[in-house]
Structure formats: structure tokens, C-alpha cells
Amino acid sequence: MSLSTIDRLMPELPEVETVRRGLAPHLFGQKIHKVLVRQYSLRWPIPDDFCEVLKGQTFQEIDRRGKYLLMHLTHGTLIAHLGMSGSFRLCDSDIPFKKHDHVIITLDNQTLRYHDPRRFGSLHWTTDQPLTHALLAKLGPEPLCDSFTAQYLFEMLNRRKKAVKSCLMDHHLVVGVGNIYAAEALFKAGVRPDRSACTVTPEEAKKLHTHIRYLLKRAIDQGGTTLRDFVNADDQPGYFQQTLAVYGRASDPCRVCNTRLESMIIGQRSSVFCPKCQQ
Ligand SMILES: [Zn+2]
């Protein structure tokens, strides 16, 4: 599987938010009658008592932190990460399981199924405040929240020497900016992805901040248009499609200046950029 194929399949923040919005109204108030784990070995093993603990509880709200879904139940929170290929779907109980349907949660009228061919996703149960969970406690701010400001981004970049693109994708600095959004925001801001983060000026940081937020918002808005497809899907979630300026377009002409786009590897991820538009 090529790098770009993996990126396209991998759920990013907008897809996870789309999943959250799609599932929340359907799950709210639904009681868990039975849990069947067909594969305990995900990125982290599902605990042995998972089925017993969840049984009898009722779904409340669903929140999101970074790419984690926080599914609040009566007595605690189910923390779910979709990894590289995970998806949830709601379907009738009598529909046969698919090969990679690892967890089956029987509700009042339907079943919620967790499907994950590559098994990099995870399901955790906690009765504590979920934001203090070891997986979540050290995450940076949400890119669409007020705490993520241009000034904050500038200060964070200013004290780091590694490539600016790697910093944007560092979840300790800000969550949810994956390879696609980092590449696109850097193009829009006119910043070469391999520049040392500390060379980014306040003006450039402001542009990066604006474009990161704009790209994520737009992606969430587009995801929102496919919610119905997502919930009803029996296979692929309804991920949005959008026109990308540089991502996946190595050797193609720049949409702005027609220069041939170049590609390099930064932090083991392919990074496409325009040598003319990005300085
Ligand atoms: Zn260009």
C-alpha cells in the first residue's frame, strides 16, 4: 500500500468529528444488551472484562478529543481511536459479521460494530475523567478551539528546530493536523515544509494558523454532508473529498504558478511542495 493510500484511508480529525456527529444522535439513550469481542488484539488489547463492564449501560453524549472519540456511558467512558483503518457502523442485528468486525455491541434495535482491518485502532474503558487518561492528558490544544491562537503557534514553532511540517503534525503542539492538512496549510501559507520551525515568522505563523483552521473547518463541513451515508454505510465511511493543492500531486504542475511540484520525505512522511510558492 502506498504512503498516499494510507493517508487517504486514515481517519483524520475531520473524519473523526464526522463519525462523532453521525453516531451521537443514534446512540444517545441506547442501552447495551450484549457485547461480543471477536478479536481482542487491537493496538492495545481489549481488557478481558470489557463485555461484562459495558453490558447494561446506556450511551450518553459523545465527545471528541483530537482523534479520540469519548463515548460516555452510564458509569464511565469508552475511549475509541480508529487507528489507520477503523470504523464504526450501525446496522441491523441479523446482518452477518464482516471479516474484520472485531467488536459487536448489541443495542435496543441495532448493533454497533467496530471494524478495523489493520487493527491499529483501540478501545479503552475508564471510570475516571477521560481527559486525564494517559492517552489524552498530554495532547496539545484543539485546532478549532480558542486556546489555539496564532501567537501560541508562533511561540511553539519558535522554540523548535525540527522541520516545521513535523511540528505541525506533533500532537503535543496541536492535535489533529495530519499529513494532508499540514502539507496543504504549508502551501497556502507559502512556507517550505522542511524549514526549521524556529525560522517561521509571526506573519507566517498567522497564515499557517488561519489555513489550518480553515482547512479543518471546511473538511468537517464537507464531512457533515455525508453523515447520512456514513451511518447507513455497510462498508466505507463517507469521508469527504476535497480538491488538494499539493498533497498527492508530486510532479504535477502547481495550481498557482504552474511550477512542477516536488516531493521529499520529512519524518518518514512524503511531503509535496511548490519550490516557487513555498519559501
Ligand atoms: Zn507554485
Give domain limits for the chain: 3-132, 150-273
pLDDT exceeds cutoff 70 at 240: no
Identity at 174, one-letter amino acid code: V
Asked whether 208 and 151 are in contact (CB, 8 A), the reply is no
Three-class secondary structure of residue 70 per DSSP? strand
For residue 40, the tally of other CB atoms under 10 A from its CB is 14
Q: Whole-angstrom Cα distance, residue 36 to residue 25? A: 23
Q: Whole-angstrom Cα distance, residue 21 to residue 185? A: 25
> What is the pLDDT at residue 227?
41
Q: What is the pLDDT of residues 191-236, one digit of tens each?
A: 999 999 999 999 999 999 999 999 999 888 877 544 444 443 334 4
- CA of 254 relative to ligand 1 center, distance in Å: 5
pLDDT exceeds cutoff 90 at 3: no
Q: What's the rounded mean pLDDT across residues 39-59?
A: 94
Asked whether 183 and 271 are in contact (CB, 8 A), the reply is yes
- The reply to whether 12 belongs to the active site is yes
Cell numbers given for 33: 444488551
- CA of 241 relative to ligand 1 center, distance in Å: 22
Instruction: Given the residues 67, 89, 165, 207, select the one marked as catalytic.
Output: 67
Q: Whole-angstrom Cα distance, residue 192 to residue 205? A: 13
- The reply to whether 159 belongs to the active site is no
- The reply to whether 269 belongs to the active site is yes
- CA of 155 relative to ligand 1 center, distance in Å: 28
pTM metric for this prediction: 0.87
Domain 150-273: assigned CATH number = 1.10.8.50
Three-class secondary structure of residue 75 per DSSP? coil
- CA of 161 relative to ligand 1 center, distance in Å: 25
Cell numbers given for 114: 467496530
pLDDT band of 9, cuts 50, 70, 90:
low
pLDDT band of 64, cuts 50, 70, 90:
very high
- The reply to whether 67 belongs to the active site is yes
User: CB under 8 Å to 21, separation ≥6 — which residues?
Assistant: 223, 224, 227
Q: Whole-angstrom Cα distance, residue 149 to residue 81? A: 26
Kindly list the distances between the CA atom of residue 14 and the CA atoms of 50, 60, 150, 159, 238, in Å, as whole numbers in the listed order: 28, 22, 20, 28, 11
Q: What is the pLDDT of residues 133-179, one digit of tens each?
A: 999 999 999 999 999 999 999 999 999 999 999 999 999 999 989 88
Domain spanning 3-132: which superfamily? MutM-like, N-terminal (3.20.190.10)
